[in-house]
Structure 1
Amino acid sequence: MTISWVLFDADGVLQRMPPGWQDSLLGRLGDEPVETLAELFTREREETIAGGDFGALVADTLRRRGLSTDPELVLDSWRTLVVDRQLTDRIKKLRTSGIGCALATNQQDVRVAYMRSLPDYADVFDEQFYSSELGLAKPDPAFFEVIIQRLGIEPDEALFVDDVAANVAGARVAGLAAEVFEQDAGIAELERILARYQLT
């Protein structure tokens, strides 16, 4: 069947963290920054599905570790990203050919609110799907099944693009066409994938 929708992952495809962001964050996390950051990352992974209040979890983690750091200073690190505008411009062009384009990404609620506020995405995508809002996360095939149902299409009408092979495998189990994206190749990589499916 002809592809009518393309679903894009965010981190590792359309966006990346700016240089030095982790060092900056570690500098705000007290005497055991690596351990504290590891705990925050673990709790973040849980919240990408649960859809809870990640800000409250950050505040709780800092409090339990005896840190006086303002939680908002820590959360600001999750509100920092660099969008590849070559890719988003190409997605805009793809939409002019009648192809629907959607964001399909694992994110906790703080990141969701930030990303929804970005013109880079609000002006580019027809739809935005976030794991914490769906209650499902990649690579679970059910994540993709819910999106397909909401779009009102058949699975083989959708192409999914992600930098993580396991997520691509999950999409394929759900019946979607799916391709692994190499972020360092940038726009040339997206053109390669689109050409494979005769998308202009």
Structure 2
Amino acid sequence: MKALMVDVDGVVVVHPDPKGWSANLERDLGLKIEDLQTQFFEPNFHDIVHGRAALRERLGPVLTEIAPHLSCDQLCAYWFENDSHLDHGLLSQLAAFREQGVALHLATVQEHERAAYLWNDMGLKDHFDAIHYAADLGHAKPADGFYATIEARTGFAAEDLFFIDDKAANVEAARARGWKAAVWTGKDRLAELVARI
């Protein structure tokens, strides 16, 4: 194993509330998550997360309709800040692998703005060697192109890689590509997962 590829949401970033970052959205910002889901995420996020549209370009007009009291800046700041609880226990386990010479890379489905926030504002650049994300790759998990493009960009062969993700479909797609991979539940230690494969 030359590199560990690590998912973000549900793995490195965890949610104290099972409802996630939007648990108190209506209380705090006067916006129902159901409205944001149906008016913004469902019709727009596929294009945004594949890099075919900018977040604010699609979010601005929607907010004008469903929450004219909110700006893109306000909603994005709230979203990113409330979606930023790091699993420090996992980061510590990952650091042990890095000390042994294993490269650490993030492999995640993100659009450009939150990817930058994760990397810079949350300081994941201090824990990982690189970030590979959907909007930059032009592919999202579990599409084969996501994994293939990471291989092409890094120069790592499939057999060099170990991948953890909280979604079984993403793990199965990585395995189909030839990567070693395991579903991350947070219950097992990372070293144990790696040793089993």
TM-score, with structure 2 as normaliser: 0.87
Counting only pairs closer than 5 Å after superposition, residues 1-200 of structure 1 correspond to structure 2 as 3-19=1-17, 21-27=21-27, 28-30=29-31, 33-42=33-42, 43-65=44-66, 67-80=68-81, 81-118=84-121, 120-183=123-186, 185=187, 188-197=188-197
Deviations 1:121-144 (A, max 9, x none): 111111111111111110011111
Which whole-Å CA distance do the structure 1 matches of 2:94 and 2:121 have between them? 15
Deviations 1:83-117 (A, max 9, x none): 11111122122111111110000001221121121
Deviations 1:14-68 (A, max 9, x none): 11245373133234254x5522333333223431112532123221111133622
Cα 1:33–1:158, aligned 2, differ >3 Å: closer, same or farther?
A: closer
Cα 1:98–1:40, aligned 2, differ >3 Å: closer, same or farther?
A: same
Which whole-Å CA distance do the structure 2 matches of 1:56 and 1:18 have between them? 30
Which whole-Å CA distance do the structure 2 matches of 1:38 and 1:18 have between them? 24
Which whole-Å CA distance do the structure 2 matches of 1:18 and 1:60 have between them? 31
5+ residue gaps in structure 2?
none
Query: Would you identify which runs of 4 or more consecutive aligned residues in structure 1 move more than 3 Å?
Result: 17-21
Which whole-Å CA distance do the structure 2 matches of 1:66 and 1:26 have between them? 11
Cα 1:24–1:39, aligned 2, differ >3 Å: closer, same or farther?
A: same
Cα 1:105–1:190, aligned 2, differ >3 Å: closer, same or farther?
A: same
8 Å contact from structure 1 (residues 29, 37) kept in 2: no
AA aligned opposite 1:107: Q
Which whole-Å CA distance do the structure 1 matches of 2:73 and 2:36 have between them? 16
AA aligned opposite 2:134: S
Which whole-Å CA distance do the structure 2 matches of 1:40 and 1:192 have between them? 40
Identity %: 26
5+ residue gaps in structure 1?
none
TM-score, with structure 1 as normaliser: 0.86
SS in structure 1 opposite 2:24?
Answer: helix
Name the count of aligned residue pairs.
191
SS in structure 1 opposite 2:181?
Answer: strand
Deviates more, 1:56-65 or 1:97-106: 56-65
